Amino acid sequence: MAYHSPNDLASALDIAAQKSGIIVAGGTDVYPSAKQGVHPDFFLDVTRIRGLDGISSENGNLKFGAATTWSQIAHADLPPAFDALKQAALEVGSVQIQNAGTIAGNICNASPAADGVPPLLALNAQVELASAARGYRVLELADFLLGVRKTALARDELVTAIIIPPAPEAARSAFEKLGSRRYLVISISMVAATITCGADGRVIDASVAVGACSPVAQRLSLLERYLVGKRARDIEVGEHHLSPLSPISDVRASGSYRLDVVAEQCKRAIIRALA
């Protein structure tokens, strides 16, 4: 076992191309999933790579470095379209987890209940990946997440950034999380909504994403289309809007319960975004 902590991306990518290692940033998912007696060939610590952390503007997009922590996001000065992401940041585990856990770690862990994913989906996030052999590529987040604990990350690749294309200035957003206790809780279900309204109070554009109700968090396109042209007081969310969802039963709740509550949860997120 070795520990590597490169300062530059090129070195990191060279290391990533070697045998099977573990990429570690905050460690908040690496350690809990570690098995007694099972060891990787190396740990590749990405937290000291120059340029990999922090939020910047690039070509009109907002670029979140892979190692940007949830605390950095929660306290960043961002447009209102990012409120859902900031609210989600404050629901990732606890302050301790938010201070260490990173945005890329959250998506690479690919938990169906990752709190960061629905707001990123609702912001049309893209994932920037790099490898020594093939250079950079960019995937839609929805294409990066393939299933429970499964992503499109190649064995020799690193996520370098999450890129958010510009949202309308009028876009507003909100995040709703349902869990069995107040803090440190894995979501039963959660919803992020990004809504843009016209001066007449009618919805022009809507993105709604639901987590923990399918192997990968899903955008609700039927609901999004339905919302266009609606005013807050007209909005009713029903089961027919939820077709991509396929919630399972687990220790947190039954699948039927998740389907039952998520429509109301969507409505609350939308109304809060509109408020």
Partner 1 sequence: MNKKANSATIRFRLNGQESQIVPSAGARLSEVLREELGARDVKIGCNAGDCGSCTVLLDGKPICACLTLAHQVAGRCVETLAGLHQGDETTKALAERFLDMGAAQCGICTPGMMVSAIALLRDNPSPSEADVKDALGGVLCRCTGYRKIIDAVMGAAPAASDVSGRVGDPIRHVDGPEKVSGQQAFADDIAPPGTLEIFIVRSPYPRARFELGDLEEFVATRDGIEAVLSAADIPGQNLFGVIPQFVDQPVFAETEARFRGEAVAAIVGMPETIRNFSPADFPIKWTELEAATDIISAQLAAASQLHAGRNNNVMCGGFVACGDPETAFSKADATVEGHFQSGFVEHAYIEPEAGFARMEGEKVEVYACTQAPVMDLEALEAILAIDRCQIRVVPTAVGGGFGAKLDISVQPYLALAALKTGEPVRLNYSRTESMQSTTKRHPSDMNLKIGATKDGKISGFNFYGEFDTGAYASWGPTVANRVPVHASGPYYVTDYRAETKGIHTNNPPAGAFRGFGVPQAAIAQECLFDVLAEKLGIDPLVFRLENALHEDMPTVCGQVFSQGVGIGKCLEALRPAWDAERSDVKDFNEKSETFKRGVGIAAGWYGCGNTSLPNPSTIKSGILADGTIVLHQGAMDIGQGANTVITQIFATALGAPVQSIELIGPDTDVTPDAGKTSASRQTYVSGNAARLSGEALRAQVLERLNVASDASLSFAAGVIRATDESGTRELVLAQLETDIEGYALRAEETYDPPTKPLDANGQGIPYAQFGYAAHLVVVEVDTAFGTVKPIKFVAAHDVGNAINPMLVEGQVHGGIAQGLGMALMEEYIPGSTENLHDYLIPTIGDVPPIETIIIEDSDAHGPYGAKGLGEHVLIPTAPSILNAIYDAVGVRIFQVPATPARVRAAIRAKSEPVAPL
94 touching partner 1, by CB under 8 A = yes
* Structure token pair of residue 262: 């998520």
Residue among 76, 170, 248, 261 that touches partner 1 (CB under 8 A): 261
30 Cβ contact partners less than 8 Å away, ≥ 6 residues apart: 22, 24
37 touching partner 1, by CB under 8 A = yes
3 touching partner 1, by CB under 8 A = yes
Instruction: Write the DSSP symbol of residue 102.
Output: B
Question: Closer CB to partner 1, residue 5 or residue 131?
Answer: 5
* Structure token pair of residue 87: 């609210």
Secondary structure (3-state) at 170: coil
125 class by beta-carbon count within 10 Å (0-12 exposed, 13-18 middle, 19+ buried): buried
x/- string (CB under 8 A) for partner 1, residues 192-221? Answer: ------------------------------
Residue among 53, 67, 71, 86 that touches partner 1 (CB under 8 A): 71
Q: How far is the CB of 21 from partner 1 (least distance, A)?
A: 10
Residue among 17, 76, 152, 185 that touches partner 1 (CB under 8 A): 185
Is 98 in contact with 74 (CB distance < 8 Å)? yes
94 Cβ contact partners less than 8 Å away, ≥ 6 residues apart: 183, 184
| Binding footprint of partner 1 on the chain (CB under 8 A) | 1-8, 11, 24, 26-28, 30-32, 36-40, 42-43, 45, 47, 71, 90, 93-97, 99-100, 178, 180-186, 188, 251, 253-254, 257, 260-261, 264-265
